[in-house]
Amino acid sequence: MASGGSQLSAAQRSKWPHVSMGVALIVVAVALTVGWQILGAEAPSLGRPTLRWVVYFFGSVLSLLLIGGLVLIVILLLREVRLNEQQSNFISAVTHELKTPVASLKLYLDTLRLRELPEARRDDFYRTMDQDLARLNATINSVLNAAMYTDRPVVDPQPLDFARLVKRAIELTQTRHQLAAGTIAYQGPESLRVLGDATALETATLNLLDNAVKYSRDTVEVGVEVGSNGDGQAFLRVRDEGVGITRTHLPFIFKRFYRIGPEVRRSRPGTGLGLYIVRSVVKGHKGTVHAESAGPDRGSTFTITLPGLLDAPARPDHG
Amino acid sequence: MARVLVVEDEVHLATGIRFNLELEGYSVEVAGDGGQALEQLRAVRGSPASAFDIVILDVMLPGLDGFQVADRMRQGGDHTPVLMLTAKSLPEDVVQGLEAGADDYLAKPFELSVLLARVKGLLRRRDWARSQSDGADTATIGDAVVDFRTFELRTGGEVVHLTLLEAMLLKLLVQNAGRVVSKAEILEKVWNVSPDTETRAVDNFIARLRRYLEADPRAPRFLHTVRGAGYRLTP
């Protein structure tokens, strides 16, 4: 009979024997060391006091090394286990992200083949299939982008207009999510020139905007700000009023494959690569990325900074 | 007209499945997550006219996942046949689904014709388990009386409501009373999966049936395990 056990993944179940064995070994080593110290101090059989102290000293050092080593192994083990879980979560997420649109496409294709349908219904189905293809394409792109931008500095930075790039990304995001123009508010200069890789920066910006929409609640309310901070750096700030991020998850969200919650109870589509790509792109530009959130349901704000500002903003245009 | 509850959070899939089932003459409702599904099932319990005849259940759902939904349905005494749909198609996922109480399992992406056939098949299997043509409506095992029309098992003053799979397993054993029925045969006929599937599901179900039938499940008098061969019922 399936009980609570079915709610644990195999990885979670198999982790505990290893970890508890490590902890038990540490306890044994500590007990051994303490016991040995006490016994050593009590037993006078070793003869000369100097010899006793030498044995005592080396013994203590070796014991501490042993304990330290064990602690280290347990820490490494835990880290390995966590990585493993994230990877299997990633496989699970990508499986879902790839198979769902494929299943949908197959279903509608079969339906079109099997049934006599009126024109309007057929058009409906074609539209659905188009959206499935777009989703499939987005997943493939994010997996490819993650591979492309990982730990790689921008090879050939070119002058580009960052403000225009962001505004284009806003328009594209609004179209993709069928939002009214102006849902994502832009604040910043008409033009802001920086050195960088336009495609990579566009990918990163689109990921941030996409997240802001995806993690919004019923009404989408997103604010985007572009500007320069005076010390030769351009910045982009994306603020949403969505579900927010709890303090415990905040340090991990830029990690590869990291997604909040177990994958089988996924609440938002995604692969756990979006923010990782953002961080990789920004790192490639020697910039910084930062996330903050006041907590669940209180929205989040993502800020990236990019060095390589080419000129002071022509004129501030608050719109 | 059979009623189907489709539990699927992906709108495109839910819409497509509903559209096709309705063309086949089913009456369909859709639930977007596990909690909502349980609520919809609870709402129609006890009213035979509006109760669901089959649940098509996705595994990856927001909130409660499909395994949990199936598990809670069974523990809450809801025995509506469940067809699980999921993007995961590894053998261990199939097994986990069956152990959670699903009656059939289909991997995404699926052929539309296969989905429709499985739905029909599940309804037919339920009807088979209830049928009167091959054998009696009721069987007596020790003190217990099983009614295959209602899936009810009476022992003393107690009434146990069997799930579809429990009823089918018991019926198979009753029909072959005195003869050893192999695990492979059970997997094929009751679970509708390949006979070499590695699963504890059959053992778990036998253990459950023993709890209903036997005074001391550890020393069975009616439902015997024949080591290396299968199971035998001696009423």
Residues B149 and B81 in one domain: no
Nearest-by-Cβ selection for B108 from A103, A108, A115: A103
A211-235 pLDDT, tens per residue?
899 888 888 889 999 998 878 899 9
Res. A80 pLDDT band, cuts 50 70 90: confident
Give the start-end residues of each E strand in B87-190.
Answer: 104-107, 138-141, 144-147, 152-155, 158-161, 180-181
B68 contact residues in A (CB cutoff 8 A): 6-7
Residues B123 and B168 in one domain: no
SS3 B166: helix
Indicate whether B8 pLDDT > 90.
yes
Last residue of a domain, one of B130, B157, B190: B130
- The predicted structure's pLDDT at residue A139: 84
Question: At the fourth CATH level, which superfamily is domain A158-307?
Answer: Histidine kinase-like ATPase, C-terminal domain (3.30.565.10)
Mean pLDDT to the nearest integer, A103-129: 94
DSSP3 helix / strand / coil % (chain B, rounded to 5): 40, 20, 40
Q: Please give the residue of chain A at the shortest CA–CA distance from B206.
A: A1
Whether B23 and A115 lie within 8 Å, measured CB to CB: yes
Mean pLDDT to the nearest integer, A170-174: 90
Q: Report the 3 state secondary structure along chain A.
A: CCCHHHHCCHHHHHHHHHHHHHHHHHHHHHHHHHHHHHHHHHCCCCCCHHHHHHHHHHHHHHHHHHHHHHHHHHHHHHHHHHHHHHHHHHHHHHHHHHHHHHHHHHHHHHHHHHCCCCHHHHHHHHHHHHHHHHHHHHHHHHHHHHHHHCCCCCCCCEEEEHHHHHHHHHHHHHHHCCCCCCCEEEECCCCCEEEECHHHHHHHHHHHHHHHHHCCCCCCCEEEEEEECCCCEEEEEEEECCCCCCCCCHHHCCCCCCCCCCHHHCCCCCCCCHHHHHHHHHHHCCCEEEEEECCCCCCEEEEEEEECECCCCCCCCCC
Residues B156 and B197 in one domain: yes
Residues B32 and B119 in one domain: yes
Task: Tell me the pLDDT of chain A averaged across its residues.
Answer: 81
CB-based contact (8 Å) between B101 and chain A?
Answer: yes
CB-based contact (8 Å) between B201 and chain A?
Answer: no
Contact assessment for residue A93 and residue A139, using Cβ atoms and an 8 Å cutoff? no
Indicate whether B213 pLDDT > 70.
yes
Q: Please give the residue of chain B at the shortest CA–CA distance from A265.
A: B62
Nearest-by-Cβ selection for B71 from A2, A92, A264: A2
Residues B23 and B64 in one domain: yes
Contact assessment for residue B159 and residue B169, using Cβ atoms and an 8 Å cutoff? no
Contact assessment for residue B184 and residue B167, using Cβ atoms and an 8 Å cutoff? no
Domain that holds residue B143: 138-233
Which CATH number does the domain housing residue B163 bear? 1.10.10.10
A110 contact residues in B (CB cutoff 8 A): 111-113
Contact assessment for residue B97 and residue B106, using Cβ atoms and an 8 Å cutoff? no
Contact assessment for residue A224 and residue A210, using Cβ atoms and an 8 Å cutoff? no
Domain total in chain B: 2
Mean pLDDT to the nearest integer, A54-60: 78
Contact assessment for residue B181 and residue B206, using Cβ atoms and an 8 Å cutoff? no
SS3 B41: helix
Which ipTM value was assigned to this complex?
A: 0.72
B51-71 pLDDT, tens per residue?
899 999 998 888 888 989 998
Whether B99 and A106 lie within 8 Å, measured CB to CB: no
The pTM of this model reads 0.67
The B residues from 4 to 63 touching A (CB cutoff 8 Å) are 10, 12-13, 15-17, 19-20, 23, 59-63
Which CATH number does the domain housing residue B82 bear? 3.40.50.2300
Indicate whether B159 pLDDT > 70.
yes
More confident call, A216 vs A51: A216
Listed ranges A14-28, A195-209, A251-265; the one with the highest mean pLDDT: A195-209
User: How far is B210 from B225, CA to CA, in rounded Å?
Assistant: 11
Mean pLDDT to the nearest integer, A115-141: 91
A269-308 pLDDT, tens per residue?
677 788 888 888 898 888 999 998 888 888 899 999 998 8
Indicate whether A10 pLDDT > 50.
no
State how far residue A216 is from chain B, nearest Cα, in angstroms. Answer: 16
Residues B9 and B123 in one domain: yes
Last residue of a domain, one of B81, B112, B130: B130
pLDDT-above-90 percentage for chain B: 25
Residue A306: strand pairing partners: A234
Chain A: residues touching B (Cβ < 8 Å): 1-3, 6-7, 10, 92, 95-96, 99-108, 110-111, 114-115, 128, 131-132, 263-267
Residues B106 and B143 in one domain: no
Residues B146 and B207 in one domain: yes
Nearest-by-Cβ selection for A114 from B15, B109, B112: B112
- The predicted structure's pLDDT at residue A296: 84
Whether B111 and A266 lie within 8 Å, measured CB to CB: no
- The predicted structure's pLDDT at residue A7: 38
- The predicted structure's pLDDT at residue A41: 63
Residues B62 and B173 in one domain: no
Last residue of a domain, one of B90, B106, B130: B130
Residues B121 and B186 in one domain: no
- The predicted structure's pLDDT at residue B40: 92
Residues B179 and B100 in one domain: no
- The predicted structure's pLDDT at residue A2: 34
- The predicted structure's pLDDT at residue B119: 92
Indicate whether A1 pLDDT > 50.
no
Listed ranges A100-109, B75-84, B86-95; the one with the highest mean pLDDT: A100-109
Res. A4 pLDDT band, cuts 50 70 90: very low
Residues B120 and B33 in one domain: yes
